[in-house]
Chains A and B, each alone.
Chain A
Amino acid sequence: MTTMTIAKAINEGLRATLKNNPKSLLMGEDIGPLGGVYRVTDGLIKEFGEHRVVDTPLAESGIVGTAIGLALRGYSPVCEIQFDGFVFPAFNQITTQLAKIHSRTNGRCTVPVVIRIPYGGGIGSIEHHSESPEALFAHTAGLRIISPSNAHDAYWMIQQAVECQDPVIFFEPKRRYWLKGEVDVENPGPSSDPFQAHTVREGSDATIVAYGPLVPVALAAANAAAEDGHSIEVIDLRSISPIDFDTVEASVKKTGRLIVAHEAPTFGGIGGEIAARISERAFLHLEAPVIRVGGFHMPYPVAKVEEDYLPDIDKILEALDRSLAY
């Protein structure tokens, strides 16, 4: 076991990938000597050279589009998109091309491209640097979407993303980059399947589902609720597509109550999908409607007011109160 930040864990995971998989390579803007704007690829170009760590021209569609070509030729490219709000120039390549090649070729061609996107708010940044666009991608069949919330997962999940034969969008909770945690670099343990949810806190009165940056918030809310005598279970979803509904369903059957929290706008978000599925699967076990805690239906607001926008402990506790009141 070693302790490291999430950013360092992804860096180490990428290092392991580049070492173990000679066909893997990293591509993106400023990822070479600078090490990426968040330094996630720090030092990798020195170790592996410019053919494995490629500083690309400033063109997101070009990055993802050429990554697709490399994958068709047998390579495993890992693309870095600098910030969440800048993935849209590549949206066409991701949704109309990357997601569909395996199906269009009747399974003859695989495109194991990974797209790393630092996402989410809470860092006091300016426009287009704080968004959570995961639902836009989750709606497209053919893509897998995962998001780690701790260093151990970050280390393993990035490597698993590269090994996966499907395209994977890897959402990195940027405001948690500096969150430290224990990493077992020898053994993934229960993290060996990146598409499985983890129950990170046991409880019996209600379940909170969260992923990525909101997992620590959900845990803090559960701890606060415990002081009021409520026993809250917290699930770290880890995978946004596919969603491990079995784990959520089992938990709801135990607790009877469900809160889903994410930073993305509530409307049309992943929370709605979870609410609907759980209503279908466990309606008779529910003591209260599933309650969603998310962002408002507005462009991500200016940094000075983002605190009012982001789901925090109080908003989750308010949702819990409402749920427990039924």
Chain B
Amino acid sequence: MGSTQLPTPGTDGTVAEVPTAGAVSGEPAAEMVQLLGPDGKLGTDPVFSDYAKRIEPEQLRRFYTDMAKIRRFDQEATALQRQGELALWVPLTGQEGAQIGSGHASQPQDYIFPTYREHGVALVRNVDLADLLRQFRGISNGGWDPRENNFHLYTLVLAAQTPHAVGYAMGIQRDQKFAEASGSTEPKAAVMAYFGDGASSEGDVHESMVFAASYNAPVVFFCQNNHWAISVPSSVQTKIPLANRAKGYGFPGIRVDGNDVIAVHAVTEWALEHAREGRGPVLIEAYTYRVGAHTTADDPTKYRESAEETAWRGKDPLDRLEKYLRAEGLADDTFFEQVKVDGDELAAQVRATTLSLEVPDIRSSFANVYAEKHPLVDEELAWFEEYSAGFESDAEAAN
């Protein structure tokens, strides 16, 4: 199969040829890397097949398990929102290949800056999935310790995390200088910054890429082009394939079939190696599709045709890996049934934990406004204590 001609960021779900991309930049359009097609057949690519060959059957099964788990989790979270247990949910269905593939390409020493939809990457990085729900349940503005698994908190201001990623990568560069000076042999690290096709229009993405290029920072920009920024199609964000933008900054840009977990893994592994080895940043555009709503507050029937969704369902990342695993004899009915059972178990666990998550006392919100003592916070907390005590003594008097 190999690389295919670059498709437009069209909205009809079909993969069209794009003569304009080349015409705009004066260069031939970048090609889309695809290894595992919708038919479940594995193709070849001159660069990335070598990376794909490193993937052991056990790991392929793990890719499938994780994609299925996170899809199941997504359904459960959506249900929890419908039942009033979450204020909002941001579904990832359709994007499992992009997330599980790229997540597994990262190493523990790499640091990840997600947006708000990277539940699949969180799973791979061992973040407790119930922790993801704290923010959406309205009981925390974070929920997990970002340093525990080198997986940063979700960021709701679009693209704001991309310069953080570059700064963190600049820190890694400096740490490596310190480490070399002291003879340490710490494994080399890189940073991944996730963002969407909509966010790619934000100035912060531009500034990040300028900084990353200027300082040759070890950062991989991972753009999930899921075709829609709420109701606005990606054609409004860009007239050229997003991956082509990297050229303007002076580093490689690769478009990969985001629904092909094998290709995503291969490309991301290449990019992370490139970054860790000091060869600079890479932009990956994972060409994928958000099958469901933007969030649980959204109604996609208002802005897109159901035929488009149907077309993309035909490229489902789970289906194609299942076909491949079965055809190669790497997994059978027992395996897939077990995956389903494990998924249900995970969902039940997450549900139980979510329901047991308690609403914090507002006093905890006073706790970390500042790292060091702050008289205004102390004063306002003291006032609040006195105010609350007034109600307690009223209640006592009434008894």
Q: Which A residues contact B (CB, under 8 angstroms)?
A: 22, 25, 51, 56-57, 59, 61-62, 64-75, 77, 89, 92-93, 96-97, 100, 102-110, 112, 141-142, 144, 164-166, 195, 241-246
> What distance in Å separates the Cβ of B120 from its nearest Cβ neighbour in chain A?
22
Q: Known: A102-B370, A105-B146, A144-B370. Contact between A73 and B167, CB under 8 A?
A: yes
A110 partner, pick from B207, B369, B371, B375, beta carbons under 8 A: B371
With beta carbons under 8 angstroms apart, the residue of B168, B172, B370 that contacts A166 is B370
Interface positions of B (Cβ within 8 A of A):
111, 140-142, 145-147, 152-153, 155, 157, 160, 162-172, 174-175, 177-178, 191, 203-204, 207-208, 210-211, 214, 365, 367-372, 374-377
Which A residues are CB-close (under 8 A) to B164?
65-66, 68-69, 72, 97
The distance from the CB of A277 to the nearest CB of chain B, in whole angstroms, is 10
Q: What is the chain B residue whose CB lies nearest that of A66?
A: B167
Given A68-B164, A142-B369, CB of A73 within 8 Å of CB of B171: yes
Partner among B174, B211, B374, B376 whose Cβ is within 8 Å of the Cβ of A62: B211
On whether A69 and B163 interact (CB within 8 A), knowing A59-B210, A96-B157, A109-B147, the answer reads yes
CB distance from A319 to the nearest CB of B (A): 26
B382 to chain A, nearest CB (A): 14
The reply to whether B170 and A69 form a contact with Cβ atoms under 8 Å apart is yes
**Inter-subunit contact A73/B168 (CB<8 Å):** yes
Q: With A57-B207, A62-B210, A105-B142 known to touch, is A69 a contact of B165 (CB < 8 Å)?
A: yes
Chain A: minimal CB distance from B392 (Å): 24
Query: Do most interface residues of chain B lie in helix, strand or loop, or is the interface mixed?
Result: helix
Chain A minimum-CB-distance residue to B156: A96
Contacts A57-B207, A69-B166, A142-B369 aside, 6 further interface pairs with beta carbons under 8 A come to: A51-B174, A64-B163, A70-B167, A92-B157, A93-B160, A165-B371
User: Complex Cα distance A295/B376, Å?
Assistant: 26
Q: Are B171 and A70 in contact (CB under 8 A)?
A: yes
- What separation, in Å, do the CA atoms of A141 and B365 have in the docked complex? 12
Least distance between A193 CB and chain B CB atoms (Å): 11
Q: Decide: A102 and B371 in contact? CB cutoff 8 A.
A: yes
Tell me how far the C-beta of A57 lies from the nearest C-beta in chain B, rounded to whole angstroms.
Answer: 5
A-chain residues with CB within 8 Å of residue B369 when the two chains form the complex: 102-103, 141-142
How far is the CB of B12 from the nearest CB of chain A, in Å?
35
Partner of A242, one of B165, B169, B365, B376: B376
What B residues does A77 contact at CB under 8 A? 167
A65 and B141 contacting across the interface, CB-CB below 8 Å: no
CA of A102 to CA of B203, assembled, Å: 25
Cβ 8 A contact of A65, one of B207, B214, B370: B207
Distance A136 CA – B169 CA, assembled complex (angstroms): 30
